[in-house]
Amino acid sequence: MKCISDLTKEELTKELTGLGEQSFRGKQIFTWIHGKRAVSFEEMTDLSKALRLKLFDRYLICDPGITRIQSSKIDGTKKFLLKLTDGSMIESVFMRYRSWNSACISTQAGCAMGCRFCASTIGGFIRNLSAGEMAGQIYVMEKETGERISNVVLMGSGEPLLNLDEVQRFVSIISDSDGAGISKRNITISTCGIVPQIKSLAAKHLPINLAISLHAPNDEKRRHLMPIAERYSLKELMDAVRYYYDETHRRLTFEYALVKGENDSKKDSDELAGLLRGLNCVVNLIPVNPVRENDLKRPDNKSVEDFRKRLAMGGIEATVRRELGSDIDSACGQLRARTLV
Ligand code: SAH
């Protein structure tokens, strides 16, 4: 059965007129699902019983089930293990900042990218998530915490740019003022660097933020950590990223997981500063989260701080990512990996 939560307001309007209904029904049903968060057609009391029945016979409303929640005692981060209709498991994280809440959501079940440090990729790729399944992660977390989410990062499991149609549909749904109304400027897509898709996203001129998982200052080191670097060189990646900036004027973020002895030397930070010079960007340094399945080690705090300072001296602003939920396996597919084994 078709999932009605996957449709944008425009698509829903077309769908309803296709069923012989008046066009305003599209917006009405969209508001029920994405604004009022109805999870059944019975709740839609301003629709006739006949229409509710018609919808019930044809569509599902996406409502991921909570399998587990891990709550950090340190900072209010909550990590959700969710089960989708077909039994696929995904992770989403609720993060509390000073005056707003942010959601980290998954775009695929599993991941095909094979990055050495990442737990999401351990069981391989399962499938793409639909737009409604992405939005559903936010709705479930808002309902469970009783709090509003204003920022979204697509940094859970999966590679968003390999599921770009659904990601774009998700952006349209979640930013719609008849739905959650989350500003596109508060949405960040994180990618390991799929060059053609970065360019096609840029050409759409959406004011969404792009984060690039860089993790290395040169091709050789990057290839050692991320198989995607075999496919696209840093030169091609940086050209695409510059094009993204030219088209959107959104400040870029580069993620850089620091791995002891691999990419955390003085030379690496100088090379990184050289690579990024002239770009309007910020580097997010993440001391790598050791995963049981790999042998990577995190540098000590001093080396991390030294790396940040050297970048700053090279003219590149960097922040060390606050390790939200460090007590709850919050990084990247770890909870799911624990459950699968
Ligand atoms: N596929 C996308 C989005 C998901 S990963 C991407 O590659 O950007 C989200 C971020 O977490 C990426 O920057 C990823 O490289 C990083 N990450 C994954 N595993 C990690 C680990 N064990 N320690 C630190 N960062 C990790």
In the chain, DSSP finds a helix count (H) and a strand count (E) of 12, 14
Record the pTM: 0.95
Out of 201, 255, 283, mutate this one to test ligand 1's pocket (max ligand atoms within 8 Å of CB): namely: 255
Task: Say what the pLDDT of residue 340 is.
Answer: 45
Q: What is the predicted pLDDT for the residue at 290? A: 84
**Residue with structure tokens 């909570």?**
66
In sequence order, the 6+-apart residues with CB closer than 8 A to the CB of 193 are: 212, 213, 214, 226, 228, 229, 232, 237, 240
8 A C-beta contact, residue 92 and residue 105: yes
Q: Is the CB of 334 under 6 A from ligand 1?
A: no
Give me the residues of the chain with pLDDT under 50, please.
Answer: 339-341
Q: Residue 68 corresponds to which amino acid?
A: R
Structure tokens at 8: 């944008």
Q: To test ligand 1's pocket by mutation, which of 190, 212, 336 has the most ligand atoms within 8 angstroms of CB? A: 190
Q: How far is Cα 103 from Cα 288, in angstroms, rounded to an integer?
A: 21
User: Is 332 one of the catalytic residues?
Assistant: yes
Nearest-5° Cα angle at 106, 226 to 229: 15
Q: Is 332 in the pocket of ligand 1 (CB under 6 A)?
A: yes
Site of tokens 């059965």: 1
How many other C-beta atoms can be found within 10 angstroms of the C-beta atom of residue 144? 13
Does residue 176 line the site of ligand 1, with CB under 6 A?
no
Which candidate, 76, 67, 80, 82, places its Cα nearest to that of 101?
Answer: 76
* pLDDT tens-digit readout, 110-158: 999 999 999 999 999 999 999 999 999 999 999 999 999 999 999 999 9
CA–chain centroid gap for 141, Å, is 15
Reply yes or no on whether 115 is catalytic: no
Strand partners, 81: 68, 91
Among residues 91, 166, 255, 262, the one annotated as catalytic is 91
Domains and CATH numbers, the chain: 2-60 (1.10.150.530), 65-337 (3.20.20.70)
Strand locations in the chain, DSSP E? Answer: 2-3, 59-60, 65-71, 78-83, 89-96, 101-104, 108-110, 125-128, 151-154, 187-191, 209-213, 252-258, 281-287, 318-320
Q: Per the structure block, which two tokens stand in for 79?
A: 């990590």
What is the rounded CA–CA span in Å between residue 156 and residue 142? 17
Burial class (CB in 10 A: 0-12, 13-18, 19+), 315: exposed
Ligand 1 in contact with 190 (CB < 6 A)? yes
